[in-house]
Structure 1
Amino acid sequence: MIVVFVLGGLAVLTLFAALHLYLWRRLVRDVSAPRGRYRRIGTVLAFVLPLTSLGALIGGRELPLAGERWLAWPGYLWLAVLIYLTFALLVGEAVRPLLRRALDRRAARTAPEEAVLVAVPATAPAPEATAAAPPAVPAAAEEPAAATRRQFVARTVAVAAGAAAAGTVGYGTYGVLRGPRLKNVTVPLAKLPARADGYRIAVVSDIHLGPILGRAHTQRIVDTINGARPDLVAIVGDLVDGTVADLGPAAEPLAQLRSRHGSYFVTGNHEYFSGAAPWVDFVRELGVHPLENARVELPGFDLAGVNDISGADHHAAPDYGKALGDRDRSRAAVLLAHQPVMIHEAVKHGVDLQLSGHTHGGQLWPGNYIAELANPTVAGLDRYGDTQLYVTRGAGAWGPPVRVGAPSDITIVKLVSLRA
């Protein structure tokens, strides 16, 4: 197992290095003079930026939070830029020969005209001079025109790729820092009594408080939820990327959450990276009720929650029997479970609706296609037998504070009774 992990790590590092070598060639070597200032600066950045990203991914947790921020912002943002810069340059590989061909044709059309201008004088020479004169040489041939055209094409593709990547990442960063938008979803439940028709649950997941997203991010989320005036708030995991000591103040605005029947929380996999037990205690102090393999009876339905799958490595595995085993099956059941793959156990235990997060909707396109390989549902509402699954894209971001093709959201799930 260790050998596989080491080989996988080496393969990733090799790919990482190869991508940066490719970027250096296309963005630095091909567009600059060999000993120019741009070449020197670009070469330095080609080494510094990947090291910063590796530091953010690997070594950030070893630093105090303030120091981690210095690595996280440039390191994670560069990862996002790297993705879209690579895509843009690969598109440029297809465009590059077309531009070269167009420029070569244009040069070929102008060359005869220039040759005529050079070869034909204004006054006809004497016959003796005409016989002795050397053949006319086109002026264009006296310069390294082909090399100039190659560099022009390289610079055009580089500038276009850089602008596309910067624009994509900039807009994606703005979407995250602006905060999630409300999304409304209606879910009919056959067992829901008429008196509970229209019950509204604010579902929020994957807030990911850490070195980049902090207290202001939490406050935006709380204000958005309170403005929607839900009946209940469900926080379905991955609240934090760090310890209570570092990030407790960033989570404190959760104490301001307001709803008719309170706020509830289940752990996600990232809580176990940071120490889940202290966070469970801390959110309880904030007035948010943890559901650790537990259930509460609410007017019209049961609300249950199970620990994340990652809890199995920390003696806190999800226990569906404890959360759901002895309940009245005639009542509707809503389950909070961080990962969508937990839907299969939910079906076995007769759950009517599972609320999940975890996927971020892929976060960075085309990450949604990768997420589909590991999750039954990446985002939105699906049905599995008699059980429905709703997956929110989440309210924050992990790693790069960037979302492309997967905007963050807080979902208001409206429960509808078929008996109403």
Structure 2
Amino acid sequence: MTVVAVLILLCVLALLAAVHRYVWLRLIRDTTTDSVRGRRIRRAGTVAVTVLPLLSLGAFVSARAGVPFRLQQLVAWPGYLWLALLLYVTLALLAGELVRAVLLRRDNSPADAAPPAPAGPEGAPAPAPAPGTAPASDVTPAPDPAPDAAPVPGPGPAPSRRLFISRAVGASAATAAVGTVAYGAHNVLSGPRVKRVTVPLAKLPRSAHGYRIAVVSDVHLGPILGRAHTQRIVDAVNSTQPDLVAVVGDLVDGSVEDLGRAAEPLARLRSRDGNFFVTGNHEYYAGVTPWLAHLRELGLRPLENARTALPAFDLAGVNDIGGEPTGQGPDFGRALGDRDRTRTAVLLAHQPVQIHEAVRHGVDLQLSGHTHGGQLWPGNLVAALANPTVSGLDRYGDTQLYVSRGAGAWGPPVRVGAPADITLVQLASLQA
């Protein structure tokens, strides 16, 4: 690991520690009292805010550490869901700071002013006590309680204004975060929706007008999303009756040994001209060679810096940038260098940043994924910093780029503001 990578990792860990402390302060410390019950709640909250981030860390490193898959699954659910909850409870608490500032402004004012002097007859001020004497109220002795009288318990002190506001803001933030994460998890676990996009291509022959390509990206089969999710995707793809299926990377987050069975429903994909695959960066983390062999067994054809000629256009695919450290990176010259540029070229490339090479090689349409559309709002703003297009159809010179939001989820099985999709790209000929 390079020095820069170590520094980045330390900065990320420091940020996470600061965020967890902030959440503990607002949700635990500020909402509890020093009563016996309050101390118990504070201890339980402190344990939770300590253990949950450790589970999150375990969820990230367990697969690479060779932890048994069953244990990966047990850690993944609470660990990844906590990250989504942490994001939205932090955002909600930050929004609540304005509410706290407004409602607690009286607490920042000077101490209450001294009470006015008692009024004398007909409202005139009472005369000041003579020098050296105390006010009558100070010298009047309180009656002694009866010797055997038990003290009468009062109603107890009411929660202070600050405590009440802290609890109200904290409860609202927690409720909003839980509701948001539950909604986002439902978006993922209910399966991707089918999105339809028409892409006009100048060189596409009239005979191919209406050609249908089902684009599937970023499924991320792993400890959370498994065989049932694959089946939902296959059913959705087959319902569109595509001419071609394009799986554009990040299919898996684990080994063939652990996830081979989860991928088996892919064998039931149906299309007229075949089912094709290009690698994403996560395939190189998971062991790309066994996966390519397994996908061939399931009927998918990997395009490893390769091209195939279909009747109406050339279909090409390049490896992901993630393969570069092992010499398996993208090779546009090999995939596109000697082709007939009078024919339409459709390129499968996992990352949108590969569009610039596609433009230089005269590609008409690039189909990509990788970004997840941001997955968790406001992640789309972060994704936009690293990708030319986050989702949808865009144009770069004479090349069009379509970026799918993906059919699964990485990390937390939660999507907010970026619903999962399978895109049916329908090609349109300008000659039709």
In the alignment, what sits opposite 1:27? Answer: 27
Equivalent residue for 1:152, pick from 164, 167, 172: 164
Aligned equivalent of 1:12: 12
Write the deviation string for residues 186-210 of structure 1: whole angstroms up to 9, x where unpaired.
0000000000000000001000000
Give the equivalent residue in structure 2 for 1:67.
Answer: 71
> Shift of residue 100 of structure 1?
2.8
| Structure 1 residues 47-66: aligned runs within 5 Å | 47-62=50-65, 63-66=67-70
Q: Please report the TM-score for the alignment, with normalisation by the length of structure 2.
A: 0.87
Normalising by structure 1, report the TM-score: 0.89
Task: Give the greater-gyration-radius structure (CA).
Answer: 2
Query: Counterpart of 2:44?
Result: 41
In structure 1, C-alpha distance between the alignment counterparts of 2:62 and 2:269, rounded to whole Å:
34
C-alpha deviation, 1:347, in angstroms? 0.6
Letter in 1 for 2:360: K
Separation (CA, whole Å) in 2 of partners of 1:58 and 1:280: 24
Q: Separation in 2 of the partners of 1:66 and 1:49?
A: 19
Aligned identity (percent) is 67
Consecutive unaligned residues in structure 1, runs of 5 or more: 117-130, 136-141
| Equivalent residues in 2 for 1:103-252, closer than 5 Å | 132=136, 148-252=160-264
C-alpha deviation, 1:99, in angstroms: 2.2
Alignment partner, residue 129 of structure 2: none
Shift of 1:42: 0.6
Q: CA deviation at 1:97?
A: 2.2
> How many Å separate the matches in 2 of 1:133 and 1:23?
48
Q: How many residues align?
A: 392
Displacement of 1:318 in angstroms is: 1.1
Matched, 1:359 2:359: no
Structure 2: runs of 5+ lacking an equivalent: 119-134, 140-154
What are the residue-to-residue correspondences of 1:377-388 with 2, within 5 Å?
377-388=389-400
> Which residue in 2 is equivalent to 1:400?
412
CA contact (8 A) 2:307 2:315 kept: yes
Q: How far 1:101 sits from its partner (Å)?
A: 4.4
CA RMSD of the aligned region, Å? Answer: 2.2
Question: CA shift at 1:61, angstroms?
Answer: 3.2
- CA drift at 1:3: 2.3
Residue number in structure 1 paired with 2:122: none
Shift of 1:132: 4.8
Asked if the contact 1:61–1:68 (Cα under 8 Å) also holds between the matched residues in 2, the reply is no
Q: What is the SS of the residue equivalent to 1:202?
A: strand
1:335 corresponds to: 347
Task: Provide the rounded CA distance (Å) in 2 between the counterparts of 1:97 and 1:317.
Answer: 53
Aligned residue number for residue 317 of structure 1? 329
Equivalent residue letter for 1:400 = P
Mapped partners of 1:160, 1:104: distance in 2: 23
Contact 1:272–1:314 at 8 Å: present in 2 too?
A: no
Specify the alignment match of 2:124 in structure 1: none
Answer whether contact 1:60 1:72 (CA < 8 A) is retained: no
**CA distance in 2 between partners of 1:257 and 1:182 (Å):** 15
Query: More helix by proportion, 1 or 2?
Result: 1
Quick check: 2:63–2:254 contact (8 Å CA) kept in 1?
no
- For residue 98 of structure 1, report the CA deviation from its aligned partner: 1.8
